[in-house]
């Protein structure tokens, strides 16, 4: 298969009139280069299926490290059918791989979600590839819980830690509040198992963050959201988690670039401080994504925090705070280019190679390079999605759309 586009997005720039050659048998990229050179080479070697998009943007598929749901389904619902629905919606928006993200809940419910994640890794889904799980909580500071239910925020007790660590091969990332009792030891255990540890929902100061970083924290969850900032004690100013994240090159972070959680100026500051190599875009999408405004949807499981969707975002029902996002990654990439001012290849990198690298998968995912998985998305100039290819297979858009619930919003084209 050859995918030819007016623009092909590479890690360090944009190739005009380029082509990506995919080995359909292995599902990997065979080569990337100028279209003329690719076609001249293949004329000598034989037949290939050609997909041509002269006005399209051929991009690496997006990798979402923080995603809860869509189309009125959530990974915490715990069935492979719900995983199919969520992965179908986000594949239609260019996300070719993701981490299924939990919310704070009872141990039994988290275990059920992890078991289904294992099933999805082994058997696949009808959309995006599930790379593993991201546990967001329940080991969170109740004072910084955001839209997580306070009754489920708790310390990581030894019995629960033992249960969770049985899924170390499934879990790729954990978000916790390092200041919670027992979390420092847990950070060391998670990091030694190769799991990415993220600080989030945290009220720590710069000085308090240092032991957590030494213990193994390497990422910070949704910059500016549910985290401490500078406080003044007498004449002295004490940086919080926010400033620590922006200043410390040991830390990567993620940004919800939906144009709602953060204004353009704060997004621009974050990009300038961290750069495209240390900043990734995440949807943090919940079950209200793809559903009409005015609807009420829970964050996490069906008995989770009630939210209302409107004006392109989910909020608590009293409208006092945001409650996750309803924006998929293709529109986040558009905002990174249009609102932040990032060049196209950097806006794309923040949704592809950077998150893949953070998750430890940069050798196989995240960029259009020979030998990597053939995860490809074709975008229109307005960043709507024309085609999605996952590991060399062209997804059937009509088949995925049939998974949409009644009343879902029409797909943007």
Q: Are 42 and 93 contained in the same domain?
A: no
Q: Are 37 and 88 contained in the same domain?
A: no
Overall pTM > 0.85: yes
Q: Are 18 and 159 contained in the same domain?
A: no
Q: Are 193 and 46 contained in the same domain?
A: no
Q: Are 179 and 48 contained in the same domain?
A: no
Euclidean distance between CA atoms 401 and 413, whole angstroms:
13
Q: Are 10 and 111 contained in the same domain?
A: no
Q: Are 87 and 163 contained in the same domain?
A: yes
Nearest residue to 1 via CA among 412, 262, 273, 391:
391
CATH label of the domain that carries residue 251:
3.20.20.140
Helix, strand, coil share (%) of the chain residues, nearest 5: 30, 30, 40
What residue numbers bound the domain in which 314 lies?
62-358
Number of domains the chain contains:
2
Instruction: Concatenate the DSSP letters of all residues of 31-87 into one string.
Output: EEEEHHHHHHHHHHH----EEEEEEEEEEEPEEEEEE-EETTEEGGG--HHHHHHHH
The answer to the question of residue 365 being in a domain is no
Q: Are 28 and 133 contained in the same domain?
A: no
The answer to the question of residue 403 being in a domain is no
Q: Are 49 and 70 contained in the same domain?
A: no
Q: Name residue, tokens 């091969």.
A: 169
CATH label of the domain that carries residue 39:
2.30.40.10
Q: Are 70 and 51 contained in the same domain?
A: no
Q: Residue 233, class by beta-carbon neighbours within 10 Å (0-12 exposed, 13-18 middle, 19+ buried)?
A: exposed
Taking only the tens of pLDDT, the chain with its 413 residues reads 999 999 999 999 999 999 999 998 999 999 999 999 888 777 656 678 899 999 999 999 999 999 999 999 999 999 999 999 999 999 999 999 999 999 999 999 999 999 999 999 999 999 999 999 999 999 999 999 999 999 999 999 999 999 999 999 999 999 999 999 999 999 999 999 999 999 999 999 999 999 999 999 999 999 999 999 999 999 999 999 999 999 999 999 999 999 999 999 999 999 999 999 999 999 999 999 999 999 999 999 999 999 999 989 999 999 999 999 999 999 999 999 999 999 999 999 999 999 999 999 999 999 999 999 999 999 999 999 999 999 999 999 999 999 999 999 998 76
Q: Are 55 and 69 contained in the same domain?
A: no
Q: Are 26 and 134 contained in the same domain?
A: no
The answer to the question of residue 49 being in a domain is yes
């Amino acid at each position: 298969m050859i995918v030819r586009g007016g623009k092909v997005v590479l890690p360090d720039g944009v190739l005009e009139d380029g082509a990506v050659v995919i080995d359909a048998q292995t599902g990997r990229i065979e080569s990337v280069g100028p279209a003329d050179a690719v076609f001249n080479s293949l004329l000598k070697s034989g037949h290939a299926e050609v997909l041509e998009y002269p006005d399209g943007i051929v991009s690496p598929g997006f990798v979402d490290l923080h995603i809860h749901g869509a189309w009125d389904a959530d990974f915490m619902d715990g069935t492979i059918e719900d995983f199919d629905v969520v992965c179908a919606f986000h594949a239609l928006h260019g996300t070719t791989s993701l981490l299924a993200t939990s919310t704070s809940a009872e141990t039994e419910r988290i275990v059920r979600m992890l078991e289904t994640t294992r099933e999805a890794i082994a058997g696949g889904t009808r959309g995006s590839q599930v790379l593993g799980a991201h546990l967001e909580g329940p080991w969170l500071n109740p004072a910084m819980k955001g839209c997580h239910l306070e009754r489920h925020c708790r310390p990581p007790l030894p019995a629960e830690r033992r249960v969770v660590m049985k899924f170390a091969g499934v879990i790729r990332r954990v978000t916790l509040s390092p200041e919670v009792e027992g979390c420092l030891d847990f950070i060391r255990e998670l990091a030694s198992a190769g799991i990415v540890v993220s600080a989030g929902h945290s009220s720590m100061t710069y000085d308090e963050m240092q032991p957590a970083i030494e213990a193994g924290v390497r990422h910070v969850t949704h910059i500016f959201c549910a985290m401490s900032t500078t406080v003044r004690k007498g004449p002295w100013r004490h940086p919080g988690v926010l400033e620590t994240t922006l200043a410390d090159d040991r830390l990567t972070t993620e940004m919800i670039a939906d144009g709602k959680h953060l204004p353009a100026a704060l997004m621009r500051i974050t990009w300038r401080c961290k750069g495209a190599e240390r900043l990734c875009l995440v949807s943090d999408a919940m079950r209200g994504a793809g559903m009409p405004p005015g609807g009420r949807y829970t964050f996490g499981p069906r008995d989770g925090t009630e939210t209302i969707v409107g004006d392109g975002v989910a909020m608590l029902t009293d409208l006092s705070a945001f409650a996750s996002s309803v924006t998929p990654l293709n529109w986040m990439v558009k905002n990174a280019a249009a609102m932040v001012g990032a060049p196209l290849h950097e806006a794309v990198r923040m949704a592809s190679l950077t998150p893949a690298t953070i998750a430890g998968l940069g050798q196989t995912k995240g960029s259009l390079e020979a030998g990597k998985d053939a995860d490809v998305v074709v975008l229109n100039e307005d960043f709507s999605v024309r085609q999605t290819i996952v590991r060399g297979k062209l997804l059937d858009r009509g088949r995925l759309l049939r998974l949409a619930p009644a009343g879902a919003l029409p797909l943007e084209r």
